[in-house]
Amino acid sequence: MKRILLIRHGQTDWNLEQRWQGHLDVPLNEAGQAQVRRLADHLRERTITAVYSSDLTRAQMTAAQIAEVHGLTVKPDPRWRELNLGVFQGMTTSEINGKYPDEARQMRQDYLGYVIPTGEPRRAMQERAYAAYRDIIAREPGPEIAVITHGGTIRVLLLNLFDIDDAMRRMSVKNTSITTIEVNGDRARLIEAAATPHLLG
């Protein structure tokens, strides 16, 4: 039995502006770095034996501090990236709705299948994240493996692994939140979704 900790990266300025980042490489801001310090301290006593990360800077900055407190080296993997948002990258939701109303509507109607112009469908992100997840399950003995990734990536992986409803699909995956999956052979169980105990108080 092992546990996979799916962790969203810390806050960026674009998160504050509600600007869609996608594959654009945006670093953590000061608040995000403070969140990550609290997260790393919270996880200090956990039995984490490996730290994987999206290869984007905001995820790697988050992963580095978790790895450091456990004496580990981050293992970057581009399959854990956020969705390639194509023409939507760098824009806010209101800007997207104004400039690309038809495309935005189609994306809402076909959550997994819609191909964003010059980008990718969520199903492609789901497939690459699931492949990376399966590789970790096969390779790492645990007992706990941390994966630092992105909110959208976490959502589509959960949709793949579990029978979850639309409310779960729309859940808020906050910066530095922890989603815990317990794996026993081929069986997976969702223990906790998007928890942020380290940010309380």
pLDDT tens for 32-42 read 999 999 999 99
Q: Spot the catalytic one: 70, 82, 120, 198.
A: 82
Query: Residue 87 belongs to what domain range?
Result: 2-199
Q: How many domains does the chain have?
A: 1
The reported pLDDT for the residue numbered 186 is 84
Q: What is the CATH number of the domain that holds 160?
A: 3.40.50.1240
> Backbone phi, then psi, for 147, in 5-degree steps?
-125, 115
* pLDDT above 70 (res 166): no
What is the value of pTM for the model shown?
A: 0.95
Q: Spot the catalytic one: 9, 70, 150, 198.
A: 9
Known active-site residue 150: no
Among 105, 103, 102, 124, which residue's Cα sits nearest to residue 113? 124
Known active-site residue 9: yes
The reported pLDDT for the residue numbered 168 is 65
